């Protein structure tokens, strides 16, 4: 009797054990393809879109739009690089194409991934803790990071590192202000916007100027608190956004003359993101009101030659009403089509919209989570 019971119990255990093999074998996340309207753009072959993915979800992902064929490939990284442990990583913060390589800055994965721009295959990576943004100049990449050293209570400043794009290694680093954000090279000088975002009672207010020969900070331009965006126009000016303090001080936009290294103009315009193409700057702003509990979203343009805001927007067909949170923008340098992304609730797949120069929607497509950063491939 007892034996029979034991036999049956062990049978039950064995049957349960066989369940183990019942879980489907894991596979690399698939790529998905959609066919959109082609936009042949001469030398510009395509467009990478980096989806940030929500923090802790490890869902940074890369989409690619082939402009000539209109083929949109969602989530190309995992199929191209199935051997990379846990994939692209957590919170993709910036992307840039330089030469034949794509550089993807993955903030919480503490790295800059370097991929072959044609195939998406990984070529290498540069470790950089709390990395933020990247720019390129004369065979070098420059990247900002929120903190130079981790685990030191007195080391609150960020750094900019110089990367050799041939060897993919860090060559030099320089300490800048607290929590540096975007950066750009103008007149052979590197400018980086400091935010001080970790100390809401004591934001930074400066743009650091770095001499590229000595790789030393030569000046700090006082602008406004909590700086973020920093984009260069073709006239030697920088457009720098201040995020404000989210309470009393609103977001604003400033223009810096890189010759004098001084603020020469400011706009009472809130700016979440801005891109400059030729004589036009395209921006949008999302501002939250504590009083109404609502977001106010505006889309606008500025003529950077005359430094006068335009009265028209780059979305004219009412599509803006459908966008919950604009979170990324790019302008096709050839066709002047404008790409805008919607991050929705930040935990769902977003949408990429494409507008023609008249502001009429050409197409839209579903992206990864938090579509945010663009890079054109030539």
Partner 1 sequence: MGNPHNKMTKRKFAFDGICNSFFGFSAIVWLGVFVPYNSSAQTDSVKKANELKEVSIRAIKLSKRQLSASPLQILSGKDLERLNSLSVADAIRFFSGVQLKDYGGIGGLKTINVRSMGTNHTAVFYDGVQLGNAQNGQVDLGKFSLDNIEEIELYNGQKSTIFQSARGFASGSSLYLNAKQPEFENGQTDHVKASVKGGSFGLINPSVLWQHKVSDAISASLSTEYKNANGRYKFRYTNGVYDSTFVRKNADIETMRLEAGLNGKLQDSSVWAAKVYYYKDHQGLPGAIVSNRYDFTQRLWNENFFVQSSYKKEAGRYNLMASAKYASDYVRYLDPDFVKDDGFLDNRFKQRELYLSLTNRYKINSFWDVVLSSDYQYNTLDANLDYFAYPARNTFLTALATQIHFERIDVQANLLSTYVNDKVKQFFSAGNKNELTPTVMVSWQPFDNLKEFRVRSFYKSIFRMPTFNDLYYTSIGNTLLKPEYTKQYDLGLTYIRAFKGHKLQQISIQTDAYYNKVRNKIVAVPSANLFRWSMQNLGRVEIKGLDVNVQTVWNIVTDLSLTTGLTYTYQQALNVTDKNLNYRNQIVYTPVNSGSFILGADWKNLAMNYSYIYVGQRFNQGANNVYNYVPAWYTHDIAFHYTKVLKHDRFRISAEVNNFLNQYYDVIANFPMPGRSYRFTIAYSY
Instruction: Give, as ranges, the residues between 154 and 183 that touch partner 1 (CB under 8 A).
Output: 154-156, 178
Residue 365 beta carbon to partner 1: minimum distance, rounded to whole angstroms: 14
CB neighbour burial string for 153-163, b if at least 16 within 10 angstroms, e if fewer: eeebbbbbbbb
Residue 186 beta carbon to partner 1: minimum distance, rounded to whole angstroms: 25
For the chain, first and last CA: distance in Å?
78
Q: For the purposes of burial, counting CB atoms within 10 Å of the CB of 239, is it exposed (0-12), middle (13-18) or buried (19 or more)?
A: buried
- Pairwise CA distance, residues 376 & 360, whole Å: 21
- Rank residues 74 and 140 by Cβ distance to partner 1 and give the closer one: 74
Residue 33 beta carbon to partner 1: minimum distance, rounded to whole angstroms: 5
Name residues contacting partner 1, limited to 266-325 (CB under 8 A): 272, 286-288, 290, 293, 295, 325
- Rank residues 190 and 329 by Cβ distance to partner 1 and give the closer one: 329
Name residues contacting partner 1, limited to 131-150 (CB under 8 A): 147, 150
- Rank residues 46 and 280 by Cβ distance to partner 1 and give the closer one: 46
Extract the tokens encoding 363. Answer: 């197409």
Size of the site for partner 1 (CB under 8 A): 103
- Rank residues 15 and 166 by Cβ distance to partner 1 and give the closer one: 15
Name residues contacting partner 1, limited to 45-84 (CB under 8 A): 46, 52, 54-59, 61, 64, 66, 71, 73, 75-76, 78-80, 82-84
Which among 244, 235, 268 has a CA at the least distance from the CA of 254? 268
Residue 183 beta carbon to partner 1: minimum distance, rounded to whole angstroms: 18
Q: Do the bridges between strand 216-222 and strand 262-267 make them parallel or antiparallel, or are there none, so unpaired?
A: unpaired
Taking CB under 8 A as the rule, which mask of x and - marks residues 329-348 in contact with partner 1?
Answer: --------------xxxxxx
Residue 211 beta carbon to partner 1: minimum distance, rounded to whole angstroms: 26
Name residues contacting partner 1, limited to 196-255 (CB under 8 A): 196-202, 243, 246-247, 251
Per CB under 8 A, 87 contacts partner 1 = yes
Please choose, out of 184-192, 234-242, 259-267, 367-375, the segment that lies near partner 1 by the rule CB under 8 A.
Answer: 367-375
Q: Give the residue, chosen from 3, 4, 43, 260, that forms a contact with partner 1 under the rule CB under 8 A.
A: 4
């Amino acid at each position: 009797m007892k034996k029979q019971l034991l036999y049956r119990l062990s049978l039950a255990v064995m049957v349960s054990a066989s369940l183990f093999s019942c879980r489907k074998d894991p596979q690399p996340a698939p790529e998905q393809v959609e066919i959109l309207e082609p936009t042949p753009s001469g030398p510009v072959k395509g467009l990478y879109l980096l989806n940030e993915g929500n923090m802790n979800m490890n869902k940074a992902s890369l989409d690619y739009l082939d402009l000539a064929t209109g083929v949109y490939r969602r989530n190309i990284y995992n199929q191209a690089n199935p051997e990379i442990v846990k994939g692209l990583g957590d919170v993709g913060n910036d992307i840039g194409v330089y030469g034949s390589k794509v550089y993807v800055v993955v903030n919480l994965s503490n790295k800059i991934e370097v991929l072959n721009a044609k195939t998406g295959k990984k070529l290498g990576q540069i470790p950089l803790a709390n990395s933020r943004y990247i720019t390129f100049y004369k065979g070098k990449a420059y990247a900002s990071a929120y903190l130079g050293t981790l685990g030191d209570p007195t080391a609150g400043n960020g750094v900019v590192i110089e990367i050799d794009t041939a060897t993919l290694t860090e060559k030099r680093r320089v300490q800048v202000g607290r929590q540096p954000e975007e950066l750009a090279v103008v007149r052979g000088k590197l400018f980086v916007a400091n935010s001080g975002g970790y100390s809401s009672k004591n934001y930074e207010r400066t743009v650091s100027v770095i001499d590229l020969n000595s790789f030393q900070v030569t000046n700090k331009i006082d602008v406004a608190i909590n700086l973020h965006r920093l984009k260069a126009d073709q006239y030697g000016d920088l457009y720098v956004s201040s995020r404000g303090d989210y309470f009393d001080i609103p977001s604003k936009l400033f223009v810096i003359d890189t010759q004098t290294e001084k603020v020469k103009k400011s706009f009472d315009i809130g700016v979440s993101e801005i891109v400059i193409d030729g004589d036009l700057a395209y921006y949008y702003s999302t501002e939250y009101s504590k009083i109404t509990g609502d977001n106010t979203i505006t889309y606008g343009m500025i003529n950077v030659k005359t430094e006068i805001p335009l009265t028209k927007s780059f979305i004219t067909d009412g599509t803006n009403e459908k966008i919950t949170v604009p979170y990324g923008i790019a302008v096709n340098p050839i066709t002047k089509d404008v790409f805008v992304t919607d991050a929705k609730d930040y935990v769902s797949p977003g949408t990429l919209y494409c507008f023609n120069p008249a502001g009429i929607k050409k197409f839209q497509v579903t992206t990864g989570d938090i579509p945010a950063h663009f890079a054109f491939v030539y």
